Amino acid sequence: MKPLFYSDYLEGAHPYLLQVIQEANFEQNPGYGEDDYCKDAARRIREAFSVPDADVHFLEGGTQTNATVISSVLKPYQGVLCPDTAHIAVHETGAIEHIGHKTLTLKNNDGKISAAQIIDAVVGHYADANHEHVVQPGMVYISFPTELGTIYSRKELTEISAACRECKIPLFIDGARLGYGLMCSECDIEPSDLGKFADIFYVGGTKQGALFGEALVICNDAYKKDFRYNIKQNGGMMAKGWLLGLQFAALFTDNLYFSLSEHALAQAQKIRAAIKEKGLKLFGGSPTNQVFVELSLEQQERLAQFVGYEYWQKIDDGHGAVRLCTSWATTDEAIEILNNAIKTL
């Protein structure tokens, strides 16, 4: 079998998580996330991110988490500001519109948007004499890391957060790959910073060592009330919610979540080194577990003989960018096969 670098959710779960599920399998746990594992996991997450007063909920996947949060926060006539590359804007089959809201896209810069763009959008909205005829910006959605693997700096996040407060709209951070951002060497923010910047964020499990699951952290009191109704209404309340609690409790035991993140990042760095050594050009500035590289059509074909990768986008008639993802599960053997293949391009 060729090793696959298509995405970071190809394998199941870290063995420790399977083990705890196995051990708990015949326990009888209350349903819908009202079990002790969820309580324990919530406690650990509050501690890991230094958000002692946050509400923590567990949902199965990112699309439903995004829709649930956005449906919960916005008024009917409001939309969500986000990069034009945002997952909610391009890869969730209009889940946000399905439940009534517009994604208000801002031009991304290597996956990111800036505080200035947010302020311009909000100030511009109210400056428009016809603003009542236009969807009102009601919140900001960014992901950390972004869809392009890039990360916001402390300075950028501080400014974005300040912009949101100035505009009186909340900041929601999609952390589907949160650990891969926070543990990356270029990252100058700490887990404990997140709750200072964001009103709501989530800690991705699906791509970070769990079978599935996202841990949603609501920091701002204004958004806590009755949130579980929203989860149920949006189809995100797992009958066996304890499966989520159990996995997140395990991931936040002995720093496992962050260790697994570091592993993926180290593997990505090995790929970047091979790319650099070969004289190939990285595409974009991702320092995280997603490695983007520019390849000619011939190089793409050749690489495909050795490993699976995701074709990302056309650059010019002869060249395109491809994506190589590492994860908590990426083995040294897979990296070796990939890096040997890179040498031959």
Q: Which of residues 196-215 bind a second copy (CB under 8 A)?
A: 206-207, 211-212
Q: Is 313 in the site for a second copy (CB under 8 A)?
A: no
Mind giving me the DSSP string for 316-333? Answer: ETTEEEEEEE--TT--HH
Residues 85, 117, 208, 234: which binds a second copy (CB under 8 A)? 234
CA distance 316 to 35: 54
CA distance 256 to 2: 28
Stretch that binds a second copy, among 106-114, 166-174, 234-242, 291-299 (CB under 8 A): 234-242
CA distance 234 to 67: 8
Residues 228, 270, 272, 302: which binds a second copy (CB under 8 A)? 228
Stretch that binds a second copy, among 56-64, 107-115, 192-200, 252-260 (CB under 8 A): 56-64
**Scanning the structure block, which residue is given the tokens 């993926």?**
264
Stretch that binds a second copy, among 39-47, 84-92, 140-148, 316-324 (CB under 8 A): 84-92
Residue type, 247: Q
- Strands 78-83 vs 103-106: parallel, antiparallel or unpaired: parallel
CB 40 within 8 A of CB 245: yes
Nearer to a second copy, 189 or 238 (CB): 238
Q: Is 288 in the site for a second copy (CB under 8 A)?
A: no
The encoded tokens of residue 68 equal 């649930």
Residue type, 227: F
Q: Is 25 in the site for a second copy (CB under 8 A)?
A: yes
Nearer to a second copy, 189 or 210 (CB): 210
Nearer to a second copy, 105 or 150 (CB): 105
Q: Is 84 in the site for a second copy (CB under 8 A)?
A: no
Residues 50, 136, 220, 269: which binds a second copy (CB under 8 A)? 136
Cβ contacts of 293 within 8 Å, gap of 6 or more:
275, 280, 281, 282, 283, 321, 322, 324
